[in-house]
């Protein structure tokens, strides 16, 4: 935080420079946050948006000088107007830290009521939504954010959570993980919005761990990687697979025949899946959930301690 303020104090930016220096904002509807004090968020009327004013946590209030507060107030006022009824995270400064990196951002509330956030996963991305790190933070320590306010806060992302090394973070963004439309893991493993919202933290971490172990795709290679298989109470099998496209063209799938094989190589289940144009971009991988209903299971009590899914020959 201090380095951010020293830079700000050394040369007060123009309003245009403030907007240029703030990274792309990550925006959630206020009703999507755990402790919004709103009973129902009505649709905002057409307008230019809400200008947020500075709100300091008591710890920042106590240690900042009047000049520093003025500088922060100027930045908060010059942030782009925010559509009504939202919570946003606007990254302002990223610097090295003894434990990893420190990101200073404004948490903005454009709703008409105060908001108290709870524990949420934040991510730092670079380039084309490439995931650099993700970490859970207890956002309740930031305190209640008043209506139409912007509260600065510093987040330390520790080194053990870094997914990439030796990358240039000049085009970076800090974001609420749940607000992301897309997130790209190591080895170009793409997660779309529906997966980001649906996967548990444990499942996301399993995919991240897998992405770091995957061998690089060879040019022209297309394959299916087995990720997770779960037997359901009704006898169905739920398989998460990774479709990998090493070609130079996007691949679109309308239908895909698949079979699951157990540790002995026996066919456990077989099915034909309607994918309705599922597209996997060039040189990327994409996870997908395949549900084999109970009637498609051919072998009961199979040993699935080691298994694989593949297109049947």
Residue 268 CB burial class (10 angstroms; 0-12, 13-18, ≥19):
buried
Cβ atoms of 294 and 279 within 8 Å: the answer is no
Give me the sign of the Cα torsion angle 35, 38, 40, 45.
negative
Q: In what order do the strands lie in the sheet with 284-292?
A: 172-176, 119-126, 130-138, 182-185, 189-192, 284-292, 237-245, 222-231
**218-310 CATH pick, 2.40.40, 2.60.40, 2.20.25, 3.40.1130:** 2.60.40
**For the chain, percent of residues with pLDDT exceeding 70:** 88
Counts for the chain of helices (H) and strands (E), in that order: 6, 16
- Of residues 57 and 204, more confidently modeled: 57
Q: Quick one: angle between helices 2-10 and 66-78, nearest 10?
A: 80
What pLDDT sits at residue 206? 86
Is 203:195 a contact under the CB 8 Å cutoff? no
pTM score over 0.85: no
Alpha carbons 258 and 290: distance in angstroms, whole number? 9
Nearest of 176, 23, 10 to residue 87 by alpha carbon = 176
Contact 90, 25 (CB under 8 A): yes
Q: From CA 312, how far away is CA 30, in angstroms rounded?
A: 47
Count of C-beta atoms within a 10 Å radius of residue 300 = 8
Residue 73's pLDDT is: 92
pLDDT at 69 over 50: yes
- Residue ranges, comma separated, of all CATH 2.60.40 domains in the chain are 218-310
Q: What secondary structure letter does DSSP report for 223? A: E
pLDDT in tens, 162-221: 998 888 887 899 999 999 999 999 888 999 898 999 988 888 888 888 888 888 888 899
């Amino acid at each position: 935080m201090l380095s951010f303020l020293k830079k700000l104090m050394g040369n007060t930016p123009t309003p245009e420079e403030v907007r240029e220096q703030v990274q792309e904002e990550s925006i959630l509807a206020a009703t999507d946050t755990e402790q919004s004090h709103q009973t129902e968020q009505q649709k905002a009327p057409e307008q230019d948006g809400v200008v947020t004013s500075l709100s300091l946590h008591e710890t920042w209030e106590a240690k900042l000088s009047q000049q520093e507060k003025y500088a922060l107030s100027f930045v908060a006022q010059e942030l782009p107007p925010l559509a009504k009824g939202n919570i946003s995270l606007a990254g302002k400064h990223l610097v090295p830290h003894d434990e990893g990196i420190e990101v200073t951002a404004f948490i903005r509330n454009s709703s008409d009521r105060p908001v108290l956030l709870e524990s949420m996963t934040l991510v730092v991305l670079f380039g084309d939504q490439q995931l650099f790190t993700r970490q859970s933070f207890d956002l309740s320590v930031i305190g209640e954010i008043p209506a139409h306010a912007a509260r600065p806060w510093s987040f330390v992302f520790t080194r053990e959570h870094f997914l990439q090394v030796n990358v240039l973070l000049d085009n970076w963004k800090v974001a609420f993980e749940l607000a992301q439309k897309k997130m790209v893991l190591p080895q170009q493993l793409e997660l779309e919005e529906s997966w980001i919202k649906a996967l548990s933290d444990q499942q996301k971490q399993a995919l991240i761990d897998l992405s770091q172990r995957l061998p690089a795709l060879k040019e022209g290679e297309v394959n299916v990687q087995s990720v997770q298989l779960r037997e359901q109470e009704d006898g169905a099998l739920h398989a998460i697979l990774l479709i990998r496209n090493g070609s130079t063209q996007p691949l679109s799938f309308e239908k895909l025949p698949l079979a699951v094989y157990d540790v002995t190589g026996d066919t456990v289940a077989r099915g034909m899946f309607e994918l309705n144009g599922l597209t996997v971009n060039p040189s990327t991988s994409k996870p997908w959930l395949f549900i084999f209903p109970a009637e498609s299971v051919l072998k009961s009590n199979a040993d699935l301690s080691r298994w694989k899914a593949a297109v049947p020959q």
